[in-house]
């Protein structure tokens, strides 16, 4: 199998798995904090076990000498997880996934302020257009707590963007450890907020194990493999599939249909991100071609 096919299949399977995340969250009727406790717990157990097997010396050394970046990045990842679950419970799944997908644009702004990276005109236009789409999504009142849920999704996007900017600054050193420590923080916050870890029905235990032991870790492993074999722009386009597949799974499982405002705003955001990604890819291709000729 060629590298392109490997990357394509890894991204397709990974994103499809990740898209089931929202449906499983909705099917678990215990409190959000109980779900978050187990999500954090299994992140610590599963990911730590894997990296201790693959990179034992590096992992133990990093744990013994934690850095400020590791602490801040883990907090950002933990808050993104918490706000994501709260958003899924409060607003339409389509709204949550659409808003979260603007995190690359937020990353560009944060990188400008903290890493002194240049923000080109294309990125600024994309930010303005995506903001217009998000305004449509925020104007939706189909659910009582929709506005709060949409705000939680925006915080999720901001925290994910912060997490990725910190990873970029540290050149992704000990990236998996961020997820472990982030899971630990999620557990602690969930317990403080009132999680009841063992107040679950048999059916909810099944969903918890499928989600936290299967779907989440496996999907992230596959998604991390994809970019090794695909251009970054292609991998980013695959990530947009979650905003389409996630609502489809929830519609199929629970009958939730996105409202008109969410469809309009989502269409604007997704079209903006697709055009932005394709334009960036074309520019990079042209520069590489020019460099090879020169």
pLDDT digits (tens, 9 = 90+) for 165-187: 898 888 767 778 888 999 999 99
Question: So what's the pLDDT on residue 141?
Answer: 66
Question: So what's the pLDDT on residue 232?
Answer: 64
Q: Is the pLDDT of residue 117 over 80?
A: yes
Tell me what the mean pLDDT of segment 121-126 comes to: 90
Tell me what the mean pLDDT of segment 84-92 comes to: 94
**Domain-located, residue 127:** yes
The whole domain housing 280 covers 68-169+259-294
Question: So what's the pLDDT on residue 171?
Answer: 74
**Domain-located, residue 163:** yes
Q: For residues 223 and 79, which has the higher predicted lDDT (pLDDT)?
A: 79
**Domain-located, residue 223:** no
pLDDT classification of 294: cutoffs 50, 70, 90: low
**Domain-located, residue 225:** no
Question: So what's the pLDDT on residue 33?
Answer: 97
**Domain-located, residue 120:** yes
Q: Which of 37, 86, 39, 45 is nearest to 199 (CA)?
A: 37
Question: So what's the pLDDT on residue 51?
Answer: 87
Tell me what the mean pLDDT of segment 73-85 comes to: 96
pLDDT classification of 194: cutoffs 50, 70, 90: very high
pLDDT classification of 202: cutoffs 50, 70, 90: very high
Tell me what the mean pLDDT of segment 87-103 comes to: 93
Q: Is the pLDDT of residue 144 over 90?
A: no
3-state secondary structure the chain: CCHHHHHHHHHHHHHHHHHCHHHHHHHCCCCHHHHHHHHHHHHHHHHHHHHHHHCHHHHHHHHHCCCHHHHHHHHHHHHHHHHHHHHHHHCCHHHHHHHHCCHHHHHHHHHHHHCCCCCCHHHHHHHHHHHHHHHHHHCCCCCCCHHHHHHHHHHHHHHHHHHHHHHHHCCCCCHHHHHHHHHHHHHHHHHHHCCCCCCCCHHHHHHHHHHHHHHHHHHHHHHHHHHHHCCHHHHHHHHCCHHHHHHHHHHHHHCCCCCHHHHHHHHHHHHHHHHHHHHHHHHHHHHHHHHHHC
Q: Is the pLDDT of residue 281 over 80?
A: no
pLDDT classification of 132: cutoffs 50, 70, 90: very high
**Domain-located, residue 1:** no
pLDDT digits (tens, 9 = 90+) for 255-271: 999 888 899 999 999 99
Q: Residue 79: exposed, middle, or buried by beta-carbon count in 10 A (0-12, 13-18, 19+)?
A: buried
Q: Which of 30-39, 103-112, 141-150 has the highest mean pLDDT?
A: 30-39
Average pLDDT, the chain: 89
pLDDT digits (tens, 9 = 90+) for 27-39: 999 999 999 999 9
Q: Is the pLDDT of residue 105 over 70?
A: yes
**Domain-located, residue 203:** no
**Mean pLDDT lowest for which of 30-34, 175-179, 211-215, 247-251?**
175-179
**Domain-located, residue 282:** yes
Q: Is the pLDDT of residue 164 over 90?
A: no
Number of domains, the chain: 1
Q: Is the pLDDT of residue 228 over 90?
A: no
Q: What is the pTM of this model?
A: 0.90
pLDDT classification of 98: cutoffs 50, 70, 90: very high
């Amino acid at each position: 199998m060629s590298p392109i096919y490997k990357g394509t299949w890894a991204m397709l399977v990974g994103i499809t798995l990740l898209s089931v995340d929202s449906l499983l969250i909705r099917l678990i009727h215990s409190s959000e904090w109980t779900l978050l406790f187990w999500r954090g717990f299994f992140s610590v157990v599963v990911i730590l076990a894997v990296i201790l097997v693959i990179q034992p010396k590096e992992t133990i050394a990093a744990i013994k000498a934690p850095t400020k970046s590791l602490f801040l990045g883990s907090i950002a990842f933990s808050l993104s997880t918490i706000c994501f679950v709260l958003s899924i419970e409060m607003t339409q799944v389509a709204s949550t996934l659409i808003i979260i997908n603007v995190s690359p644009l937020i990353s560009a702004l944060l990188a400008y302020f903290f890493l002194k990276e240049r923000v080109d005109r294309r990125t600024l236009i994309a930010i303005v257009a995506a903001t217009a789409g998000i305004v449509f999504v925020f104007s939706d009142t189909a659910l009582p707590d929709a506005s709060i849920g949409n705000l939680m999704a925006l915080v999720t996007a901001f925290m994910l963007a912060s997490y990725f900017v910190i990873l970029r600054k540290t050149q992704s050193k000990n990236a998996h450890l961020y997820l472990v420590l982030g899971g630990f923080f999620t557990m602690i916050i969930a317990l403080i907020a009132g999680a009841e870890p063992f107040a679950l029905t048999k059916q909810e235990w099944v969903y918890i194990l499928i989600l936290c032991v299967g779907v989440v870790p496996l999907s992230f492993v596959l998604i991390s493999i994809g970019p090794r074999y695909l251009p970054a722009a292609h991998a980013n386009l695959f990530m947009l599939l979650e905003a389409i597949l996630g609502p489809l799974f929830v519609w199929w499982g629970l009958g939730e249909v996105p409202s008109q405002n969410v469809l309009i705003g989502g269409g604007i955001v997704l079209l903006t991100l697709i055009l932005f990604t394709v334009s960036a890819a074309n520019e990079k291709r042209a520069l590489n071609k020019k460099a090879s000729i020169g």
